[in-house]
Chain A
Amino acid sequence: MALMENMRVRSPWILHFDTGSCNGCDLEVWALLTPKYDVERFGMVNKANPKHADILLLTGPVTKKSEDRLMTLYNQTPGPKVVVACGNCATNGVPFFDCYNVEGGIDRVIPVDVYVPGCACRPEAIIDGVVLAISKWKEKVAAEVPISASEAGPKEEQETVEAPEAKP
């Protein structure tokens, strides 16, 4: 089955969502799809649709307005999925720390697997982050109980996300 697992992680589809970024990191995420960086050679395609996505590339601090939307997008993504927080704002919301309309980093709302620092994060750094995310995804795919056997795994994951104590 190792061959099957290897084949399964060869098509990570991306969902890119801006939770309130200045667009600096967004431009760098979009640069990944251009011929210069061409992430499609890893089978990555920007699907812009949570229902088709495997890897969530999120940029910007989570504003109070985008919190619900971020949660919805995360819940709509079928597992196994990986979350990558791109940029300083997404990792801990730095310049907007303690701001009245900002919740903080992405991990205040949903669990994050990979943090990519930088303001704005370089495309090379995002590629590094995504490669790390693919290895994380591989672990998740391997750990996943076969869907036909049990459907308990993804549900538990969702419960931990929706728990209010996740927010300090």
Chain B
Amino acid sequence: MSDLELMVLTILVGILTPFAIGLLIGIDRKITARMQNRVGPPVLQPYYDLIKLFGKERRAMNSSQTVFAIACMFLQLAAFVLLVTGGDLLVVFFVSSTGSFSLALGAFSAHSPFSYFGAQRELLQILAYEPIVFMVIVAIGFRERTFLAGSVAHDLLFVLPLALIALLPVLVIKMEKSPYDIATAHTELISGPYVEYSGTYLAITKIAHWFDLAILFGIMTLFFWDQNIWISIGIKLLIILAFFFTAIVIDNTTARLTRNRMVKFTLAFGLALTAGNMLILFLADQGVFRWP
């Protein structure tokens, strides 16, 4: 495959991924409805929601709220573009988490108790999942001796399986799914950090959320690499779908836990898995035992 074809493919992936994430969320709502013995909304429902929100009357609490929403979207977009074009994973991580922080800041800028609670809990969620994502990136860097996403050219699936599994609670948190939908808790906080956004600005935060998910899925796809680009893409998609479906099953079989348990569990589980995997890798490098 020539460089030009690869470039075209990169651009295609970059443009199509956000749309694919919207479709994934639609599929998620359909599967969830079927699991609850309901018919459920059409698969394209997230797009209908988005188009409707852009058509609503434009209202904001204050100007800083809108600035933070737009900043959140552009930071996530920048991180996503950086990841797709094979940039530095650490920079992707930092830019993306700045985006998450600006969502919390936007929620803090509105003087509403629900928004405040949502923002506090959003920060707590960031505390729970960011160290794991960071450690996973460090593990990839430890194995590949580079942090450039474009230079990760080995099959990591069998070398770093524990680090990949550690991303599951992160996905559950980022998809705002049941045991850990702490910030957007719809039964008590309505929608947490999004509560004071309406219309167009809510749509902007939604798009930012889609890009945020795309970045996490992008990091997951780094775990598989093959000479043949089509096999590579196929297995990458399979990894994404497997994680996505597991998150839906977890969502439908669990109730929401408290925020303390979220922080304790995700940090202990995620850090133990990634650190353990790196230790195994280190010992294997020293020749203590063989590791694929």
Contact = CB atoms under 8 A, between A and B. Distances in A.
A78 B42 CA distance: 25
Interface residues of A, number: 26
Contacts of B57: 78-80, 147, 151, 154
Interface in B23-40: 29, 33, 36-40
A10 B41 CA distance: 10
A49 B190 contact: yes
B59 A40 contact: no
B186 interface: yes
Given A43-B41, A51-B196, A51-B198, A7 B191 contact: no
A11 to B, nearest CB: 4
Interface residues of B, number: 30
A52 B40 contact: no
Interface string A33-45: 0010010111100
Given A40-B33, A41-B41, A43-B41, A51 B58 contact: no
Interface stretch (B45-53, B137-145, B155-163, B281-289): B45-53
Nearest to B50: A11
B276 interface: no
A41 B40 contact: yes
Q: Is the interface of B mostly helix, strand, loop or mixed?
A: loop
A78 B198 contact: yes
A10 B26 CA distance: 14
A120 B8 CA distance: 61
A8 B52 contact: yes
Given A40-B33, A79-B56, A49 B51 contact: no
Interface in A2-57: 4, 7-11, 35, 38, 40-43, 47-49, 51-52, 54
Contacts of B202: 51-52
Given A11-B45, A78-B198, A47 B191 contact: yes
Contacts of B196: 51
Interface string A73-85: 0000011100000
B50 to A, nearest CB: 9
Interface string B67-105: 000000000000000000000000000000000000000
A35 B55 contact: no
A38 B33 contact: yes
A141 B195 CA distance: 24
Contacts of A154: 57
Given A40-B33, A48-B190, A7 B41 contact: no
Contacts of A43: 41-42, 45, 48-49
A35 B52 contact: no
Interface of A: 4, 7-11, 35, 38, 40-43, 47-49, 51-52, 54, 78-80, 141, 144, 147, 151, 154
| List of 9 A-B pairs having minimum Cβ-Cβ separation, nearest first | A51-B198, A78-B57, A10-B48, A38-B38, A41-B39, A11-B49, A11-B48, A79-B57, A49-B190
Given A48-B190, A51-B198, A151-B57, 5 more contacts: A8-B55, A35-B36, A43-B48, A48-B186, A79-B56
15 contacts: A8-B55, A10-B45, A10-B52, A11-B45, A11-B49, A40-B39, A40-B40, A49-B191, A51-B59, A51-B196, A52-B194, A52-B202, A54-B56, A78-B198, A147-B55
